[in-house]
Amino acid sequence: MRMQAILSLLSSTPYVQDYFNITHNVLNHLGSISPYHRAHHHNASEIDSELPIDCTVDQVMLMHRHGSRGPIGEHRSIERLIQTLYDAADVIQELELPHELEFLRAGYNSSLTPHNLTILGRKELIDHGVKFALNYPHLTTDVILSSDSGRVVESARWFALGFFGLDPDVRIVTVNDKDDPVSWITPAPGPACPRFNYSFGRQATLTWSKHYLPLITNRLNMLLPGVGFTDDDIHGALFACAYDMASRGASPWCGVFQPDELANFEYERDILMDASCAYTLPDNMAPLVGTVFVNKLIERFTDSKGDSRPLYLEFGHDVTILLALSALGLAKDFLPCQFSRDDPPLSSDELRPWRKFRTSELTPFAANMVWEKFSCTSSYDGPQIRLILNDATMPLDICGQGMDPTLGSCSLDTFINANHYSTGIQFRDKTWNATCGV
């Protein structure tokens, strides 16, 4: 009863409606399987997106997630939903269907291809490649680095088409072609960190789904008596909404759900990723693994090895970005100390509606994390650094008072000092081995 009261309160308060009005489209809030859209980061409303006229971007490091794809595992729930509807086809024909469910009279089917990029996913990457070329016309490279996943390699190729045009003089290599003992691109460290796995996230998701799915199941079974929806069917319908969107930009299922129901689905996706590869993964494991990316970023921007390039184009997964953000302490909902009661971590027992950790904004399909190093003749002294995540500047509040409130940036030196945790970790040092169980 307590959870029902909480969910009822959520749907009746201005929060859900106001949040979705601010961000324009409720269907941009499907967690990490949302369509690509410009982010709305916390504390970023006053940030100026344009650099002063005397500033020049000297170096860029791009980490890009693959584009919209078909389901991975979730297709089983979609298939069970389709079977339930098929078995109840005669019942559905006799019912007086509400407008939003009228499409069921003609039946519902799915032609989603698991794992693969969709047509819209290809378009996202071409568009991003074109935009990137317009943003940084003075920077180029002859190599692109990618995860060895097929959809990621394909994403890199479509981006290259937009950035370089036809017959580009650029090589696409994968992490398998590199000699690095641990990669900052691959979605999970594998043998480098044997304790790292996604089971914690799956358990958190299971706990939360038991809170909210039965409420939707009961509502739809009242609207469609005799069909006999299960909670798994409803899960399948929510996934059908997201993956139809990823495949063709629309879904009849999306109109079936109310804003508060989609808010609960979004939260489910957030606690899944938070417990799988971010802040609530036990033993600080995600920040530890994310230090590999942060140290690579610092190595390149300081040219500590003398081989830095002006432009890095690299392609990975949502996990890649979330691990890096975890090590940086960005999009964090709580402080790692005893005085964190006002900002508790995400919980599978209670929805945190005002959370910073929102994968719809951080890692939708085709998410892109752009790190800029820039210099200025008068506005700033020394090299500066800023982060543009999904077309919006993400304030580097880890720099504390050293962050410029206008640009959300900070000096490279301040950034390095703020990341002493990462610079104090090396692959397979004592802390790494103890945390990862090597």
Whether the CB-CB separation of 311 and 241 falls below 8 Å is answered with no
By the 10 Å C-beta count (0-12 exposed, 13-18 middle, 19+ buried), 317 is classed as buried
Phi, psi for residue 356 in degrees, rounded to 5:
-85, -35
Q: Where does residue 391 fall: left (phi above 0), alpha (psi -120 to 50 degrees), or beta otherwise?
A: left
Which of 260, 274, 318, 404 is labelled catalytic?
Answer: 318
Give the residue ranges of DSSP H helices in 23-149: 75-87, 89-94, 119-135
d(CA 325, CA 279): 10
DSSP 106: G
**What tokens appear for 346 in the block?**
């995400």
d(CA 93, CA 95): 6
Active site residue 167: no
Active site residue 66: yes
Cβ neighbors of 51 (< 8 A, separation 6 or more) are: 57, 374, 376, 407
By the 10 Å C-beta count (0-12 exposed, 13-18 middle, 19+ buried), 129 is classed as buried
Q: Where does residue 270 fall: left (phi above 0), alpha (psi -120 to 50 degrees), or beta otherwise?
A: alpha
Whether the CB-CB separation of 373 and 65 falls below 8 Å is answered with no
Nearest Cα to Cα of residue 156 among 249, 60, 63, 292: 63
Instruction: Give CA 286 to chain center in angstroms.
Output: 15
3-state secondary structure at position 49: coil
DSSP 388: E
Whether the CB-CB separation of 28 and 34 falls below 8 Å is answered with yes
- Interhelix angle 2-12/14-22, rounded to 10 degrees, is 50
Which of 29, 37, 64, 66 is labelled catalytic?
Answer: 66
d(CA 131, CA 163): 8
Whether the CB-CB separation of 429 and 418 falls below 8 Å is answered with no
Phi, psi for residue 88 in degrees, rounded to 5:
-105, 20
Which are the catalytic amino acids? Answer: 66, 318
